[in-house]
Amino acid sequence: MAEPNPSVVIVGGGFAGVGCAKALAEHDVDVTLIDRNNFHQFQPLLYQVATAQASPADVATPLRDLFRKHPRVTVKKATVTHVDPATRTVSTAEGAEFSGDYLVLAAGTGPNFFGVPGADEHALPLYALRDATRLRDRVFELFEEADTTPEVIEQGALTFVIVGGGPTGVETAGALIDLVDDVLAARFHDLDVATAARVVVVDHGEALLRPFSESAHEYVARVLEDRGVELWLGRGVAAVHADRVELADGTSIPTRCVVWAGGVSPTPLGLADELTTGRGPRLATAADLTLVGHPRVYAIGDVAQIADHDGTVLPQLGSVALQAGTHAGHNIRRHAAGRDTEPFRYHDKGIMAMIGRNAAIAELGAHRHELHGHLAFTAWLGVHALLMSGTRERVDLFVSWAWDYFTKNRAPSIVESTDGIDWDDAGS
Amino acid sequence: MAEPNPSVVIVGGGFAGVGCAKALAEHDVDVTLIDRNNFHQFQPLLYQVATAQASPADVATPLRDLFRKHPRVTVKKATVTHVDPATRTVSTAEGAEFSGDYLVLAAGTGPNFFGVPGADEHALPLYALRDATRLRDRVFELFEEADTTPEVIEQGALTFVIVGGGPTGVETAGALIDLVDDVLAARFHDLDVATAARVVVVDHGEALLRPFSESAHEYVARVLEDRGVELWLGRGVAAVHADRVELADGTSIPTRCVVWAGGVSPTPLGLADELTTGRGPRLATAADLTLVGHPRVYAIGDVAQIADHDGTVLPQLGSVALQAGTHAGHNIRRHAAGRDTEPFRYHDKGIMAMIGRNAAIAELGAHRHELHGHLAFTAWLGVHALLMSGTRERVDLFVSWAWDYFTKNRAPSIVESTDGIDWDDAGS
């Protein structure tokens, strides 16, 4: 039984949702791609926006631009609040409903505060573009405040605490210490930035970057410590306050900037508990990436627990999401043509993390060939530039990186006045 | 009587203030440069940020970066609320005071709503970087809303009204119609953008770009009208409401986006009325750019009424501000060395305005050689790129322009969700 012109509703415009839409865009399929933002964000580089190495437009592309040559792909900016897998219908906060012959759930994740008191209110996550600009603004505002009122330094105004030693935490810590030492120290003539500013990484585990090898753990720790990052490992966070972070062992670190890189939880879609599994919990999928029990509903990307062909649960990575999106599109076309779907098989090209200027680690290919330092830094730049969806972003970002690298200069680090001259608030 | 190491306090980090600080930076002078933002903005290009042709970081440079190699120039982010010219002391909203042997007032302007009811509350000015990002966000949000709820189009959701036909108004109108026709029409598959969107320029005068020649007025009007901009000339604005703009003749235009390009007023500095003159009113200056009656206080840039050597009052242009800043620095050094100050003389290199893709006008040199169209467009690009303070911005902006020009694509046009998923508000 073949369906000639199936319709597909995709919830989420991240790597998974865009990958799926692209796999369908050239075929006789009507696609509705729904996202609560009108852009696709390059999530692995948000920390660069947070540390003023990149502008928001460098790491985000309007979704409608990605599909402007595909009239059968319609993008809708809406927030999905409820999903009915039986009727393949989604409802939005704006009061609209969308349904299709197939439904793809790729709504991604947000931060998981694990119930730590105050984290929700006082910590800054790093999962959305707005998180990144908010963190960037906070960093620069704190330096401005310390310049105006140096007394606040003792109260932790220039102490930046990162909770979580995974890739996001490590990349943010490395980029922050570079920003402090290379850029801000030269800018603030009245501050002794080198001694006043602190970057601290707290993790309840004993190693940074756990998905990497043991030698990588040591390399990362050495690089960060050499640059002056304090590593507080094996210590859980008990609470986050406006003026300090409290650890499980009772010690406190005075700070007004806590970056939450401590874990993720799936975007809530109002689905029944029996459709979820594992940590998070995430949506449970069959081998062909369909939601268990719903052969016309797919669950892909970070919102889903995805297993490789051998049953291994795959990590929540951009490359897994992208490949799963493409595969879901492929299976939808097979199913619509009356053919059997195929199980997902992940092609592991490796993992990478940037630790700072000239330091990165990469474990490439199935045999985990390991690269450290300069070479890994270059590989990291190249791979990320190639992964980006739009050429414009690629060119801009390279200009940005090259400029940053050669001049230790950062244009995006601007802070606007929030003071009270009347016309500032006009029209807002 | 020579002062060996005079101190200079400069209020304002625009073209005038930065020009003055640069003229002093290489000499034995202690400079404190105060601005309520920590960046210098390239004001003539704000309309490009508003129409997503440029990112904020493309048109702004951190002030501290401009002077990071000049340890005797200290930048302070503070809002000056009061100036005492007798003691050359300024007070800030943050409670600090700064005083120097010389004081330079270069605080710039904000919008002048001329008492039009509702303008302050509902119209969007275009004088600060935040104005530009706010206008950009408004434009894209309105298109998203029209895509979700097409009924709002009849209520003026896609009608953009620009009040004021000077350079800011004309450049904004031209860039907006380009954005609508070249970019948004291709993006919104469910909207008939060409018929639904309107760009209207309202001005109480009969000509656009009054400082230019009569043939320029005709050229600009023809180009804008050919592209579909509606010109409502000879009509004053009586009031601005949330859902419409009301004209003096009683007609109303339904709109939810009114751009205020209608005039400027000097930043209030709490100075006595007898120190001001003319329209605005602006600070009154002597021929050497000192504030009348205060030989150690300079008033430059848009906050001041500046006359040329022959007594002609000069227009409020970036080039006048920059030259006045350099001249004030020069006079401060002469005065500190016990020599006479010199009168200001403006070197008029011409005026330019961009009307849109491939259309601009330029009147160059003292003889007002006139350029229209393609050639003026190229001249405009070149001159503005050269005027920009930082090389980084120049490179980025050229990438941005070139990309825009060849692909009709705009990366900075992203809109973030303002809907209520919990973690979005964490930490704010």
pLDDT in tens, B19-69: 999 999 989 999 999 999 999 888 888 998 999 888 888 788 889 988 988
B-chain residues near A56 (CB < 8 A)? 55, 412, 414
pLDDT(A421) > 90: no
* pLDDT tens per residue across span B365-398: 655 666 776 666 666 666 666 555 444 455 555 5
Instruction: Kindly state the percentage of chain B with pLDDT values over 70.
Output: 85
Whether A147 and B123 lie within 8 Å, measured CB to CB: no
Q: Which of B24, B25, B54, B31 is nearest to B42 (CA)?
A: B54
- ipTM, two decimals, is 0.81
Cβ within 8 Å of A, B 339-398: 390, 392-393, 395-396
* pLDDT tens per residue across span B4-20: 789 999 999 999 999 99
Identify the pLDDT of residue A348: 82
Cβ within 8 Å of A, B 144-173: 144, 147-149
A-chain residues near B127 (CB < 8 A)? 423
Do A363 and A287 belong together in one domain? Answer: no
Query: Cα–Cα distance between B9 and B297 in angstroms, integer?
Result: 10
Identify the pLDDT of residue B42: 84
Do B240 and B186 belong together in one domain? Answer: yes
Half-sphere exposure of A159 (CA within 13 A, CB side): 20
Beta bridge partners of B127: none
Residues of B involved in catalysis: 171
CATH number where A397 lies: 3.50.50.100
Q: Are strands B282-284 and B304-305 parallel, antiparallel or unpaired?
A: parallel
Neighbouring CB atoms inside 10 A of A199's CB total: 26
Cβ within 8 Å of A, B 265-284: 267-268
Q: Is position B48 within any domain?
A: no
Q: Which of A280, A281, A315, A320 is nearest to A300 (CA)?
A: A320
Whether B403 and A392 lie within 8 Å, measured CB to CB: yes
B131 to chain A, closest Cα gap in Å: 8
Do B275 and B257 belong together in one domain? Answer: no
Which position among A26, A97, A171, A274 bears the catalytic label? A171
Do A168 and A254 belong together in one domain? Answer: yes
Query: Cα–Cα distance between A334 and B394 in angstroms, integer?
Result: 50
Give the three-state DSSP class for B377: helix
Q: Whole-model pTM?
A: 0.85
* pLDDT tens per residue across span A289-306: 999 999 999 999 999 999
Higher-pLDDT residue of B60, B234: B234
Q: Is position A95 within any domain?
A: yes
Lookup: tokens for A272: 């029944």
- The structure tokens 């696709």 sit at A40
pLDDT(B418) > 50: no
Do A16 and A87 belong together in one domain? Answer: yes
DSSP code, position A180 = I
Q: Is any Cβ of chain A less than 8 angstroms from the Cβ of B137?
A: no
Whether A64 and B187 lie within 8 Å, measured CB to CB: yes
Do A258 and A269 belong together in one domain? Answer: no
Q: How many domains does chain B have?
A: 2
Nearest residue, CB atoms, B71 vs list A189, A410, A428? A189
Do B99 and B218 belong together in one domain? Answer: no
Nearest residue, CB atoms, A417 vs list B37, B392, B419? B37
Q: Is position A271 within any domain?
A: yes
CATH number where A277 lies: 3.50.50.60
Is the N-terminal amide bond of B281 cis, ω within 30° of 0?
yes
Identify the band that residue A368 occupies on the pLDDT scale cut at 50, 70 and 90.
low
Query: Cα–Cα distance between B168 and B225 in angstroms, integer?
Result: 17
Q: Are strands B97-99 and B89-92 parallel, antiparallel or unpaired?
A: antiparallel
Burial of B427 (0-12, 13-18, 19+ CB in 10 A): buried
Q: Is position B427 within any domain?
A: no
Q: Is A94 a catalytic residue?
A: no
Query: Cα–Cα distance between A249 and B186 in angstroms, integer?
Result: 58
B-chain residues near A134 (CB < 8 A)? 427-428
Which runs of E-coded beta strand occur in B234-321?
237-240, 244-247, 252-254, 257-260, 264-266, 276-277, 282-284, 290-291, 294-299, 304-305
* pLDDT tens per residue across span B253-303: 999 999 999 888 999 998 988 899 987 789 999 999 999 999 999 999 999
* pLDDT average, residue stretch B144-151: 94
What does the mean pLDDT of chain B come to? 87
A-chain residues near B149 (CB < 8 A)? 94
Query: Cα–Cα distance between A31 and A100 in angstroms, integer?
Result: 9
Identify the pLDDT of residue A359: 77
* pLDDT average, residue stretch B231-258: 97
Cβ within 8 Å of B, A 225-264: 260
Cβ within 8 Å of A, B 47-86: 55-58, 60-62, 64-65, 68, 71, 73-79
Query: Cα–Cα distance between A319 and B310 in angstroms, integer?
Result: 68
Q: Is position B152 within any domain?
A: yes
Q: Is position B355 within any domain?
A: yes
pLDDT(B97) > 80: yes
CB contacts < 8 A, A to B, total: 226
Give the three-state DSSP class for A181: helix
Give the three-state DSSP class for A9: strand
Whether B64 and A188 lie within 8 Å, measured CB to CB: yes
Do A197 and A208 belong together in one domain? Answer: yes
Identify the pLDDT of residue A428: 25
* pLDDT average, residue stretch A328-356: 91
Identify the band that residue B424 occupies on the pLDDT scale cut at 50, 70 and 90.
very low
pLDDT(B309) > 50: yes
Do B27 and B90 belong together in one domain? Answer: yes
Query: Cα–Cα distance between A29 and A140 in angstroms, integer?
Result: 47
Nearest residue, CB atoms, A403 vs list B38, B392, B423? B392
Do B255 and B369 belong together in one domain? Answer: yes
Domain range for A11 is 7-36+78-111+265-336
Whether A411 and B124 lie within 8 Å, measured CB to CB: no
Whether A417 and B390 lie within 8 Å, measured CB to CB: no
Whether A56 and B396 lie within 8 Å, measured CB to CB: no
Query: Cα–Cα distance between B399 and B143 in angstroms, integer?
Result: 26
Whether B260 and A396 lie within 8 Å, measured CB to CB: no
Do A136 and A193 belong together in one domain? Answer: yes
Q: Is position A367 within any domain?
A: yes
Do A246 and A137 belong together in one domain? Answer: yes
- The string of DSSP letters for B103-154 reads EEE---EEE--TT-TTHHHHEEE-SSHHHHHHHHHHHHHHHHHHHH-GGGGT
Whether B427 and A78 lie within 8 Å, measured CB to CB: no
- The string of DSSP letters for A32-63 reads EEEESSSEEE-GGGHHHHHTTSS-GGGSEEEH
Q: Is position B193 within any domain?
A: yes
Question: In what order do the strands lie in the sheet containing B73-77?
Answer: B73-77, B30-35, B7-11, B102-105, B294-299, B290-291
* pLDDT tens per residue across span A346-357: 988 778 788 877
Which runs of E-coded beta strand occur in A100-147?
102-105, 109-111, 123-125
